[in-house]
Amino acid sequence: MDRTGEVRPTDRRLFGAGGLSAAAVLAFAGEVDAQLQTYRPRITDVADAETALADLERNRTTANPVGLFPPAYDAWKAVEDVLARRVHPAYVPKLTLLAGTLAAGLSTVASFAGDEKYGRIFAGIAEAHASAAGEPVLQARVAGIQSWQALDAGLALTAADIAAEGRRHADPADRARLAGYEAEAAAMAGLYDRADAALAEMQASMHAATAGHPAIEWGEANEHLFIALAATHTPGRASIAIAFGTRSVGAFDGPCQGQALAHLAVATEHLKAARPAPDSAAASAIAALEVVQAAPNAEVHDRARRLASELEPWQSEPLVAELGRRVAAV
């Protein structure tokens, strides 16, 4: 009905108004349909990216970051290039997860190389992909990375909170690792009861970690390591740190960042013991540096450097002097 009250036929024509033509709509819709039918990632491109990811995961803690980063970056960029173009929706979740996992690996490798700027950039990208994919394993991995980054920045309480929040939403297989991260950070922040509670949660979650498929492999060596690391920041637990650090060193299958950190936990407590043993502390710190000799690791180097500065009053000790030379050469 118009303003005069006259009833007019309802106009249901889609085309004609505003210059919109049926031919134009049909042509564009047909083009989109054709793209969706044909715009699939090349199988070889995806396979190459998955191979690069497998290489990165296998060698992440045992190879030189300088050699790891370029091929992993090329693979990540190739996946991002595919996602930036029209791609069939059925392939988007897999590609998003692949890009996010590669970004998480690149973040870790960049941090190992001491380039925290790029470590944080790739962690942010991984976080965005993890949220888009809704994948708990990748989300747990990102939480672990960001917790470690906060700890490295001296934000112990923030690191503990990130790990705790990540643990609440994580798959059971990842809860032990995040609880371990929380324990070390909480102890460093002086929250000893919270650290003990996190250690208890870590131990309670160990079966799920070893029986499941965690984002990062986690076993007995890691459990011993984080008991030792938390103990290094808890008053009166030097003997615990030395005992569990020593067990951790022996439990790792081979040289890696974790084994080096275990040596450093032992070294730290030799110095903090009621009767400081600077020679033993220096020997353990040297052992840590030797573990990462083929795979330089900024976290290990930084902790060894801090320990060497604490050992300066004992420079007359041959091993302490040797540690000073080793740290200066890094």
- The string of pLDDT tens digits covering residues 119-146 is 999 999 999 999 999 999 999 999 999 9
Is residue 52 in some structural domain?
no
Write the DSSP symbol of residue 219. -
Please indicate, yes or no, if residue 54 is contained in any of the structural domains. no
Give the least confident one: 87-91, 154-158, 302-306: 87-91
The string of pLDDT tens digits covering residues 41-83 is 777 888 999 999 999 999 988 889 999 999 999 999 999 999 9
CATH code for the domain in which residue 326 is found:
1.25.40
Residue-number span of the structural domain to which 323 is assigned: 219-330
User: Could you tell me if residue 296 is inside a domain?
Assistant: yes
Phi, psi of 318 (to 5 degrees): -55, -40
How many CB atoms neighbour CB 159 within 10 A? 25
User: For the segment 92-113, what is each residue's pLDDT rounded down to a tens digit?
Assistant: 999 999 999 999 999 999 999 9
Q: Span 221-250, mean pLDDT?
A: 96
Structure tokens at 192: 């000893």
Cα–Cα dist 235/85, whole Å = 56
| Residue 300 domain flag | yes
- In this structure, is residue 259 part of a structural domain? yes
Average pLDDT rounded to a whole number, residues 295-312: 95
Asked whether residue 184 is assigned to any structural domain, the reply reads: no
Q: Output the DSSP codes for 48-109.
A: HHHHHHHHHHHHTTTS-HHHHHHHHHHHHHHHHHHHHS---GGGHHHHHHHHHHHHHHHHHH
* Residue 247 belongs to some domain of the structure: yes
Residue with tokens 């944080």: 120
Q: How many residues in total does the chain contain?
A: 330
Specify the number of domains making up the chain.
1
CA angle 265, 103, 230 (to 5 degrees): 20
5 within some domain = no
pLDDT (tens digit per residue) in 246-275: 999 999 999 999 999 999 999 999 998 889
Long-range Cβ contacts of 89-92 (<8 Å, 24+ apart)? 89/36, 91/40, 91/41
